[in-house]
Structure 1
Amino acid sequence: MNALLLSAWFGHLRILQILVNSGAKIHCKSKDGLTLLHCAAQKGHVPVLAFIMEDLEDVALDHVDKLGRTAFHRAAEHGQLDALDFLVGSGCDHSVKDKEGNTALHLAAGRGHVAVLQRLVDIGLDLEEQNAVSLRPCMAAAWTATLDCVRGPLGWEAPNALTQVAKALPDCGSP
């Protein structure tokens, strides 16, 4: 992480502006492929996101990191509802899947972010979308024991979701 990325990560808008005005390279990436947008979205720094989108040129809204995740994925995974709303308002692609086939719904469900899940459901993300190992978001929530997600925005009862998880897992054989 360089000074520019760290400014976005910690939400130091004024420092970010000074660095940019001093000629810092705005299209930098961390060793994990995180851009300024990824850093600000993951930490929920909406003023930083607004500066990046409104004042910087040629910033790719749907750029993916080494895991294949966009800033939208990062905001959902880390429960950053305001950042998620900002990215949706900026026109990000909601349908992008990461390298494991996860949508933003899978990531938010797996971490138990109920408010983010509700927003993702409200904007129309597909509850039946499967990732690379055939798990749907409700199964990701059940797998990680985030039953509030399963009962709430995902609309499944916990026993049903847990049964679905068990069916989705490969047969490991007896010990």
Structure 2
Amino acid sequence: MNALLLSAWFGHLQILQILVNSGAKIHCENKDGLTLLHCAAQKGHVPVLAFIMEDLEDVPLDHADKLGRTAFHRAAEHGQLDALDFLVGSGCDHSVKDKEGNTALHLAAGRGHLAVLQRLVDIRLDLEEQNVEGLTALNAAAEGVHPDCVQLLLEAGSCVNALTQVVSPPRDGCLPLASEH
């Protein structure tokens, strides 16, 4: 992480502005492919997001990091509702998937971020969208043991009997008995 990325990560707008005005390269990434926008979105620094989008030139809103995640994904995954709202208002692509096929809905549900999940439901993301393992957001919420998110998704119309495409044993390595199916 260089000084510019660190200032975005920690929300130090004034430092960011000084660095930019001193000629810092704004199109930089860390080793994971995180840009200024990713850093500010993940940490929920809306004033920094606003500066990046409004005052800097040619900053791609939907640039993906090495996991295929955009700033929108990062905000959802880390429960940053205000940052998510800012990115939605800026016109980001809501339907983009990361390299594992996860949408922002999958990430918020899997991490148990109820307020973010509600907002994503409100903007009408596809509840039945599947990632590469065939998991829906409901599956991700259930796997992450987030009953409030499961309830929200069911009330929003998620299919309670949706099946995954990949059969994998439970994480403890034990397979269920035939009578448990």
> Unaligned regions of 5+ residues in structure 2, if any?
177-181
Assess, with a 3 A threshold, how the Cα gap between structure 1 residues 174 and 121 changes in structure 2: closer, same or farther: closer
- C-alpha deviations, 1:121-166, integer Å up to 9, x for none? 10010000000000000000000101110012x126xxx95x757x
Count of equivalent residues: 170
- 1:170 deviates by 1.2
Q: Distance in 2 between matches of 1:26 and 1:37?
A: 10
Assess, with a 3 A threshold, how the Cα gap between structure 1 residues 143 and 21 changes in structure 2: closer, same or farther: same
Partner of residue 170, structure 1 = 167
| RMSD after superposition | 2.0
Partner of residue 155, structure 1 = 154
> Unaligned regions of 5+ residues in structure 1, if any?
none
- 1:119 deviates by 0.3
Read off the aligned partner of 1:26 and give its amino acid letter: I
Partner of residue 121, structure 1 = 121
Partner of residue 24, structure 1 = 24
List 4+ stretches of structure 1 deviating above 2 A. 171-175
- C-alpha deviations, 1:59-113, integer Å up to 9, x for none? 0000000000000000000000000000000000001000000000000000000
Give the alignment of 1:14-53 within 5 angstroms.
14-53=14-53
- The share of aligned pairs that are identical, in percent, is 79
Read off the aligned partner of 2:28 and give its amino acid letter: C
**TM-score, scaled to structure 2:** 0.88
**TM-score, scaled to structure 1:** 0.91
- C-alpha deviations, 1:34-71, integer Å up to 9, x for none? 00000000000000000000000000000000000000
Give the alignment of 1:85-164 within 5 angstroms.
85-152=85-152, 154-155=153-154
